[in-house]
Amino acid sequence: MSFNTFGHLFRVTTFGESHGPAIGCVVDGCPPRIPLNESDIQPYLDRRRPGQSRYTTQRQEPDAVKILSGVFVDELSGAQVTTGTPIALVIENVDQRSKDYSDIKDKYRPGHADYTYDVKYGLRDYRGGGRQSARETAMRVAAGAIARKIVPGLTVRGALLQMGPHRIDRARWDWAEVERNPFFCPDAKTAAMLGDYLDDLRKSGSSIGAVIEVVAEGVPAGLGAPIYGKLDGDLAAALMSINAVKGVEIGAGFAAAELSGEQNGDEMRMGNDGKPLFLSNNAGGILGGISTGQPVVARFAVKPTSSVLTPRRTVDRYGRETEISTTGRHDPCVGIRAVPIGEAMVACVIADHYLRQRGQVGESPAWPFPQPAR
């Protein structure tokens, strides 16, 4: 059985292929009366859009989103708002060049999903990979823009931490810098090196991987559905579902293996706002699968683009050994455009859990609790 839907109460179904006439999604479960226009969604799509700099694929897609349903003008305010019915969004594909793929029509790209799609379905949409292409992720970004509007005070931001051997220095982290360079890199000094590095890589016909961090602030304490719908479990699944993502960490992640219990456990004091103040955030804002109220921090590793110019050994769909060299338009580092996609998936998961928490618990209990008299 195929599975093209994610989320429980905030439910996103995507459809469409890389080289079909359009891609789209249906967002079901969005509460009514939330102001929503195309202009709320488009800026996020523009951040993910191909052809934005010479460091990403030169496929020219305006990615102009249209809202087909689920909105109506509110008589009182005059604003267009959600109606509580399914919101259908569509983006036309305008720059398909299926010809680019005719040379590799029958050959499997090592590292790509050509073989697995073919062996599973028995047919091959060689035009850019069809549904296996990350073109579909534009719709996740569109859905993420709606998700961000559901949780009051939520901010979800992502940044590139590492590209190949180049790692940022966290001491130089500046969120404003993320919007100033084409790599979503928070460290200006590292960003300054990435241009030349990618130019050399592109000239050699190769590609490279990356590590991305997404931070969600304003996540209320109490989100997450133990045991099988833990917030960290759902975030990991959502991030892992992004094309080319090969690893996910929450908070200290794999580095926690080197820490002692004293170093790892985030100590607690009382904050001035009457809420607990955690003295560190190794938990990445989640304990027991439930949000603590601290920023939720997730990282993911993106593998290098499989479509490389360098000739590689492979087989074709008729079982013959051959060689493949992928021309056409590809990102030398797909990790760059994965930043807004990661943000969107985190926003969708948090919105889903926010609605689930409201559904099961209603108002979260007032904390701290009154101490019972003895």
Ligand X SMILES: Cc1cc2nc3c(=O)[nH]c(=O)nc-3n(C[C@H](O)[C@H](O)[C@H](O)COP(=O)(O)O)c2cc1C
Residue holding tokens 């960490």? 249
Where does this chain touch ligand X (CB under 6 A) — which range of 226-234, 239-247, 312-320, 352-360?
Answer: 239-247
Task: Tell me if 162 contacts ligand X by CB under 6 A.
Answer: no
- What is the rounded CA–CA span in Å between residue 65 and residue 96? 17
What number of other Cβ atoms are within 10 A of residue 315's Cβ? Answer: 15
The DSSP letter of residue 70 is S
What are the backbone angles phi and psi of residue 296, rounded to the nearest 5°? -85, 125
Where does this chain touch ligand X (CB under 6 A) — which range of 66-74, 210-218, 274-282, 334-342?
Answer: 334-342
With CB under 6 A as the contact rule, the residue among 49, 330, 353, 356 that binds ligand X is: 330
Task: Tell me if 139 contacts ligand X by CB under 6 A.
Answer: no
Give the residue with the Cβ less far from ligand X, 107 or 330.
Answer: 330
Q: Least separation, in Å, of the C-beta of 337 and ligand X?
A: 4
Q: Least separation, in Å, of the C-beta of 49 and ligand X?
A: 10
With CB under 6 A as the contact rule, the residue among 11, 19, 112, 131 that binds ligand X is: 112
- What is the rounded CA–CA span in Å between residue 142 and residue 32? 18
208: left (phi over 0), alpha (psi -120 to 50) or beta: beta
With CB under 6 A as the contact rule, the residue among 212, 244, 248, 296 that binds ligand X is: 244
Asked if 29 contacts 355 with a C-beta cutoff of 8 angstroms, the reply is yes
Task: Tell me if 243 contacts ligand X by CB under 6 A.
Answer: yes
- What is the rounded CA–CA span in Å between residue 130 and residue 278? 46
Task: Tell me if 133 contacts ligand X by CB under 6 A.
Answer: yes
What number of other Cβ atoms are within 10 A of residue 239's Cβ? Answer: 25
Task: Tell me if 334 contacts ligand X by CB under 6 A.
Answer: yes
- What is the rounded CA–CA span in Å between residue 266 and residue 197? 38
Give the residue with the Cβ less far from ligand X, 92 or 100.
Answer: 100
Give the residue with the Cβ less far from ligand X, 36 or 244.
Answer: 244
What's the N-to-C CA distance of the chain in angstroms?
Answer: 58
Where does this chain touch ligand X (CB under 6 A) — which range of 91-99, 130-138, 226-234, 281-289?
Answer: 130-138
Task: Tell me if 96 contacts ligand X by CB under 6 A.
Answer: no
Q: Least separation, in Å, of the C-beta of 330 and ligand X?
A: 4
- What is the rounded CA–CA span in Å between residue 46 and residue 51? 10
Joined tokens for residue 339: 């930043």
Task: Tell me if 239 contacts ligand X by CB under 6 A.
Answer: no
Asked if 168 contacts 187 with a C-beta cutoff of 8 angstroms, the reply is yes
- What is the rounded CA–CA span in Å between residue 15 and residue 90? 9
With CB under 6 A as the contact rule, the residue among 337, 346, 349, 355 that binds ligand X is: 337
Give the residue with the Cβ less far from ligand X, 134 or 225.
Answer: 134
Within 280-309, which residues bind ligand X (CB under 6 A)? 303, 305-307
- What is the rounded CA–CA span in Å between residue 313 and residue 67? 45
Where does this chain touch ligand X (CB under 6 A) — which range of 12-20, 27-35, 128-136, 269-277?
Answer: 128-136
Give the residue with the Cβ less far from ligand X, 60 or 263.
Answer: 60
Give the residue with the Cβ less far from ligand X, 73 or 123.
Answer: 123
Task: Provide the mask over 50-89, with x wherever binding to ligand X is found by CB under 6 A and - wherever it is not.
Answer: -------x--------------------------------
Which residues touch 1 (CB under 8 Å, ≥6 apart)? none
Give the residue with the Cβ less far from ligand X, 48 or 166.
Answer: 48
- What is the rounded CA–CA span in Å between residue 245 and residue 339? 11
- What is the rounded CA–CA span in Å between residue 108 and residue 118? 9
Q: Least separation, in Å, of the C-beta of 11 and ligand X?
A: 22
Asked if 155 contacts 38 with a C-beta cutoff of 8 angstroms, the reply is no
Tell me which residues touch ligand X (CB under 6 A). 57, 112-113, 132-134, 137, 242-244, 303, 305-307, 330-331, 334, 337-338, 341
